[in-house]
Structure 1
Amino acid sequence: MHHLTARPLILALSIAAALSACGGSSSDQPLVIPAAPADQGAADVAPVPSATAFVDTIATNQRGDARYATLATNAGVRVLGGFLAIWKPLTEIVDAGQTAAAVDGFPAVVASTWSGVPGDGTPDGTVLNAAVHQANIDYVINATRNRTAAQAVQAYLDDRRGKGYSVSDGMGPLTAAWRAAAQQTTSITEVAADATTKLYNDSGNNTGVGGAANASFGSVVDLVNLVGNNASTEPAKRFYKYARPYRWSSSVIVLPALVPAKSGTPATDGGFTSGHSAEAERDAVAMAYAVPERYQEMLSRGLELGESRILAGMHSPLDVISGRILGLASAAANLADPANAARKAAAVAQAHSTLLAATGTTDATFAAYAQSGTTANDRFADYATNKANFLRRSTYGFAPIAATTALASVPKGAEVLLETRLPYLDAAQRRVVLKTTALASGYPVMDDPEGWGRLNLFAAADGYGAFSGNVAITMDAAKGGFHAADRWRNDIGGAGKLVKQGTGTLKLAGANSWTGGTELAAGTLQGDSVAAFGLGDVYNSGGTLVANAPTALRLAGKYTQLSGGTTLELDLGGAAAGSAGTLTVAGTATIAGGTLRIKFANGYKPKAGEVLTVIMAGNLQGKFNTITVDGYSNVTPNYGATTLTLTLG
């Protein structure tokens, strides 16, 4: 980390240097250089919860084994235990249509008498929260009454096709290359005319061809299959014994083309948890891990498939939410297993080498290509829409049933989910990102003891939600990918301090409000929003600070730029003060040297003779050693008491 002394420094600026470099005044003036923003102490941490870890016990997610038949002994049942505040199953055993012999002191499992049909006069579970239960079923009634023709087609395809094939279209511009490389196939390409009376099953290969049989992409397919190990939803279904929505209410309109898919054995066909939703979540997470350049889009596609289950009338929101939770925990457990480290690395490397070759891109251009779709050819091309849908599909509008302000816990091993998306952060930092971007507490089912239900990977992909203590970010551009450049879009709060180190570029685009200040020690730090740098001082001691905001970049405190390897780059979109790319400093702007670089953006090109107001400050002192303006070799600066203007020759 770059350290500076706490006391101000005194620098005598040379008249000759100022005149030759910047056309400045002809008098020496001692310059008082402020200290860097104060040290804010140790960085935040996200301790591992004391609850039994899912990643350590995923192998217990089994049925037909008396050792794993209870909430306490089955990881897949336990992670969804929040449902017990809504619904008490007839028996709290994995026993719906299931038996198991006694073993190791665990009593034998006897098949439950649960029929799977509410209100048929046979014993059933007990609704403990009538408001949540009714809202759960009413949501499906309304969704199925109002589904569009396009939603009906999507719901059918998402039901009948392999989930791996379905969610791979979240790859957008990479979809064709992904499917070709994976050798994915499906036989379900449309809704057949007789689908209302005939059940069509997918004879394709779902995730594709793995292993040695697919030399160029087999490791990637293997990774997608890997996250399904010990990930079944059957133990949870047979424990909670909560019926599908169309069995709760005849007002639920099952998609006519899916009527042939309805099970004739309700006692083994519970709704909670949705298997399709869980599998879609797992597959989407694995694909996002392999190709993090489509991270948020893949996560969005996973939740979209879950919503299709509601629109089909096959599942309720709580069924789908629980599928997301179990799918996410299962994917993390398999990815976090040290035995799978080499397989993960091979999959990521193979995904990129093959897709780069297929798309004619390079490491430097691949990310842009992956994001090059439009809403006309990539339904996940719009970030704002993805974000809104992800949040909506995370809670489905349920009212909280407990306090919404409980501190977030981060499950053991969950940091692996950001391993390729935020590769320049260490494991402890990724845990803090998950902690500071978590969903609010209090929603039905989502408050599990470990914290799986509250993880918001969409937000986590946009970096920290808050800074506490000193947050040092080191990016190595030589490693390429997100190591070289990344963009955080969260609104970052907190009292911490950001320290940017390393040669990479970090772009900040949120309405940020952290108060501990910012120090740029190396590399590039770019402000893409008006309040990109929060409410503290900004101290450029060794890198390039870029103003690329839609209007003036506003610094709420002081700005200090030292000499020697420092640059302030303003990407101007207009000549007037306050225009895009200009810099406004509420406090004192202290310029002890370095470079001012002016570029022009958004088609703006000033004429010779124009005067550009580039910096406005509460007080301006000092001068740059060098000023460069794209397209102009003759530039005259005018340093005023509060402004810097440039006259173009």
Structure 2
Amino acid sequence: MHHPNPLSRLPLAIAAGTLLALTACGGSDRIDNADTVLAIPAAPADQGAPDTAPVPSAPAFVDTAATNQRGDARYATLATNAGVRVLGGMLDIWKPLTEIVDAGVTAPAVDGFPAVVGSTWTGLPNDGTNGGTIVNAAVHNANIDYVVKATANRTAGQTLQAYLDDRRNKGYSVTEGMGPLTTAWRTATRQTTTITDMPLDATTVKYDDGGNNNGVGGDANADFGKVVDLINSMGNNGSTEPAKRFYKYARPYRWSSAVKVVPQLEPAKSTTPSTDGGFTSGHAAEATRNAVGMAYVLPERYQELVGRGLELGESRILAGMHSPLDVISGRVQAQAVAAANLIAAGATVRSAAVTQAHATLMKLTGTTPATFAAYAVSGTAANDRFADYTTSRADYIRRMTYNLPQTGATNLPAVVPKGAEVLLETRLPYLTDAQRRVVLKTTAISSGYPVLDDPEGWGRLNLFAAAEGYAVFTGNVIVNMDASNGGFNAADRWRNDIAGSGKLVKQGTGALQLGGQNSWTGGAQVEAGTLEALSARAFGNGDVHVAGGATVVSNAPAALVVGGNYTQLAGATLELRLGASQQGRVDVGGTATIAGGTLRIKFLDGYKPAVGDTLTVIAATSLKGKFETIAVDGFTATPTYTATSLQLRLSK
């Protein structure tokens, strides 16, 4: 005879509470609520549609990149050349004469400044009319003064780096951003250089690099040729000559005799100033193009590589060869060029390069898919100058603007260029293109800086921050990570400070770590996989709701603060990694509702409590329910549940 389960006729909340009372175990000195009905709170409220980043209406660089050709340099204008157009913000600082050197041929006027017939640009600033007119003296003066101060105070180490970054091939220089992978990368690419130091006679002899820049590509390098080919393609349509010839902005040492060029670079100075403009820096642009390409195929070193690209740009300032505006513009143009070339390569070529890079580098380093990511960032300050995250982040932000004065509106909404999402394709592979565009939007720097407010949005893109995921949650932000795809699909870490009113919905089998001081209010709904806190405010100010089968980990350096309610359903796991001061415990601002599941306690290296110790692992305004299973590494735990806390007494 069939006997129906009497619990099946009960409301969900009553059934859950009854099941809790019947099946919860682990012992307790005090259980106030074991036989009460446990009402399970709903998941955080739906916050609506996610944010979007529509493609701006401005002409797209990725559609017109082919117009930026070196052979067009003497005739390029904003209307005809994408590489000139993307830097059009320079016209708010400096108006170039638009006369073309060929006698009797003039270009159209620029923003009302007429073409000047019969004059030529000598490349030497004098009364402000030779080559153009200063429009914003404050920015121009700050730009040149920055170089004066930088070259007056550069160190011996900066002098050497400036020399190497000037004379060495840029592709070889950028690989210093590989850290522990540098030797393996250079071995795989077969890169060579003949510039390894600063010769004693470099003050009178110009040394050129006889190496092969990015290495050997194609079929001649069966193990890495696809990678080299993709990096080499980043230079397509990347000439800075059209911008140099159009903007006619002199190098800093021609603006001011107080700029001290590195003595060993004096032989490298051009003897024809009229063909040697400073804006934009070719070295800085090439370094960023290479850095972006390398970061695409090796996203485990994404921030370090794009950081190295900007560092090389700063070397140009320290060398006295370029100004901040010169190298800033190089970065802007290069990001657009790199995106256009990645798109042009096609998904198949891009994927093949990424696969080949990882297979070969793992073989050379003796790593596996499970250990490669950790090895890639295993360097220390002694052997990887990008190892300190805080310093690298600060350097990147500083090098984006060099703190030049903001002259425009500082609160303009960010826009994201068409195609820019490809720059994050390998770094955030579990997000959609639309989501990657929103990441770029929410991490962009503020508006108002010289040259950076281009209509498409290339200037404000902060690739370092974008590699850390969102900075603002709007609506429902669904992150679905499939661990079976490996790499960042299996495990990733975001360190941005996330604001906004949206809700994070964690799906899929992968693990996502949050390390920012977050303040978003819509809550976190952990439906599957793992969500791990690396900071005290990692989960923002909303509720945290953990479904059966999902895991939440507290690995915070202090007590993890849940701003709202914490709810754990049957089958879910809460893992706490505790330290000597009970860092890693959970403090819940609202109600902690435990409808079963597992509590797992691990101890951080260097900390082991004693037998007989009592640990407070959860504190809340109100605590209801209990765990089905409690496991403590190395101990047996006796729990004590109170109305506001859970304590564990340890024994063997």
TM-score w.r.t. the length of structure 2 is 0.94
| Aligned ranges 1:351-390 → 2 under 5 Å | 351-390=357-396
3-state secondary structure, aligned to 1:33: coil
1:333 alignment partner, one of 315, 340, 360: 340
Deviation of the 1:609 alpha carbon: 1.5
Q: Does 1:625 align with 2:628?
A: yes
3-state secondary structure, aligned to 2:556: coil
Deviations 1:434-478 (A, max 9, x none): 000001100000000000000000000011000000000000111
Q: Match of 1:583?
A: 586
8 Å contact from structure 1 (residues 520, 539) kept in 2: yes
1:606 alignment partner, one of 606, 609, 613: 609
3-state secondary structure, aligned to 2:166: helix
User: Letter of the aligned partner of 2:90 in structure 1?
Assistant: F
Deviation of the 1:210 alpha carbon: 0.5
8 Å contact from structure 1 (residues 375, 382) kept in 2: yes
Q: Does 1:305 align with 2:312?
A: yes
Once residues 399 and 343 of structure 2 are traced to their aligned partners in structure 1, the CA distance between those partners, rounded to angstroms, is 26
Q: Match of 2:80?
A: 73
Q: Match of 1:466?
A: 472
Once residues 69 and 389 of structure 1 are traced to their aligned partners in structure 2, the CA distance between those partners, rounded to angstroms, is 34
Deviation of the 1:96 alpha carbon: 5.8
Distance verdict in 2 for CA 1:310–1:448, change over 3 Å: same
Deviation of the 1:21 alpha carbon: 6.9
Percentage of matched positions with identical amino acids: 68
Deviations 1:28-83 (A, max 9, x none): 21111111100000010000000000000000012444997221121000000000
Distance verdict in 2 for CA 1:417–1:96, change over 3 Å: farther
| Aligned ranges 1:526-545 → 2 under 5 Å | 526-542=532-548, 543-545=550-552
Q: Does 1:269 align with 2:276?
A: yes
3-state secondary structure, aligned to 2:426: coil
Deviation of the 1:19 alpha carbon: 3.9
3-state secondary structure, aligned to 2:620: strand
3-state secondary structure, aligned to 2:459: helix
2:645 alignment partner, one of 643, 646, 649: 643
8 Å contact from structure 2 (residues 73, 246) kept in 1: no
| Aligned ranges 1:188-337 → 2 under 5 Å | 188-337=195-344
Q: Match of 1:500?
A: 506
Q: Match of 1:349?
A: 355
| Aligned ranges 1:113-132 → 2 under 5 Å | 113-119=120-126, 123-132=130-139
User: Letter of the aligned partner of 1:642 in structure 2?
Assistant: T
Distance verdict in 2 for CA 1:136–1:535, change over 3 Å: same
Q: Match of 1:3?
A: none
| Aligned ranges 1:518-529 → 2 under 5 Å | 518-529=524-535
Deviation of the 1:353 alpha carbon: 0.4
User: Letter of the aligned partner of 2:524 in structure 1?
Assistant: T
8 Å contact from structure 1 (residues 51, 450) kept in 2: yes
Q: Match of 1:59?
A: 66
| Aligned ranges 1:156-195 → 2 under 5 Å | 156-195=163-202
1:616 alignment partner, one of 610, 615, 619: 619
3-state secondary structure, aligned to 1:13: helix
Once residues 641 and 56 of structure 1 are traced to their aligned partners in structure 2, the CA distance between those partners, rounded to angstroms, is 63
Distance verdict in 2 for CA 1:220–1:317, change over 3 Å: same
3-state secondary structure, aligned to 2:24: helix
Once residues 45 and 24 of structure 1 are traced to their aligned partners in structure 2, the CA distance between those partners, rounded to angstroms, is 51
Q: Match of 1:480?
A: 486
8 Å contact from structure 1 (residues 22, 623) kept in 2: no
Distance verdict in 2 for CA 1:63–1:378, change over 3 Å: closer
Distance verdict in 2 for CA 1:194–1:99, change over 3 Å: farther
Deviation of the 1:606 alpha carbon: 1.3
8 Å contact from structure 2 (residues 70, 239) kept in 1: no
1:13 alignment partner, one of 12, 18, 28: 18
Once residues 152 and 407 of structure 1 are traced to their aligned partners in structure 2, the CA distance between those partners, rounded to angstroms, is 39
Q: Match of 1:4?
A: none
Distance verdict in 2 for CA 1:184–1:110, change over 3 Å: farther
Distance verdict in 2 for CA 1:473–1:340, change over 3 Å: same
User: Letter of the aligned partner of 2:156 in structure 1?
Assistant: A
RMSD: 2.1
Once residues 333 and 404 of structure 2 are traced to their aligned partners in structure 1, the CA distance between those partners, rounded to angstroms, is 19
Structure 2 unpaired stretches of 5+: 1-10, 108-114
User: Letter of the aligned partner of 1:42 in structure 2?
Assistant: A
Deviation of the 1:602 alpha carbon: 3.1
Q: Does 1:419 align with 2:425?
A: yes
Equivalent residue pairs, number: 630
3-state secondary structure, aligned to 2:617: strand
3-state secondary structure, aligned to 1:31: coil
3-state secondary structure, aligned to 1:72: coil
8 Å contact from structure 2 (residues 251, 322) kept in 1: yes
User: Letter of the aligned partner of 2:82 in structure 1?
Assistant: A
Distance verdict in 2 for CA 1:20–1:367, change over 3 Å: closer
3-state secondary structure, aligned to 2:531: strand
User: Letter of the aligned partner of 1:210 in structure 2?
Assistant: G
Q: Match of 1:155?
A: 162
Deviation of the 1:156 alpha carbon: 0.4
Deviations 1:67-122 (A, max 9, x none): 9722112100000000000000011x6x46899999xxxxx999961111111797
Once residues 101 and 402 of structure 1 are traced to their aligned partners in structure 2, the CA distance between those partners, rounded to angstroms, is 31
Structure 1 unpaired stretches of 5+: 1-6, 103-107
8 Å contact from structure 1 (residues 63, 69) kept in 2: no
Q: Does 1:400 align with 2:406?
A: yes
> Which deviates the most, 467-476 or 111-120?
111-120
8 Å contact from structure 1 (residues 97, 111) kept in 2: no
Q: Match of 2:37?
A: 30
8 Å contact from structure 2 (residues 163, 265) kept in 1: yes
User: Letter of the aligned partner of 1:12 in structure 2?
Assistant: G
Once residues 588 and 97 of structure 1 are traced to their aligned partners in structure 2, the CA distance between those partners, rounded to angstroms, is 78
Deviation of the 1:612 alpha carbon: 1.1
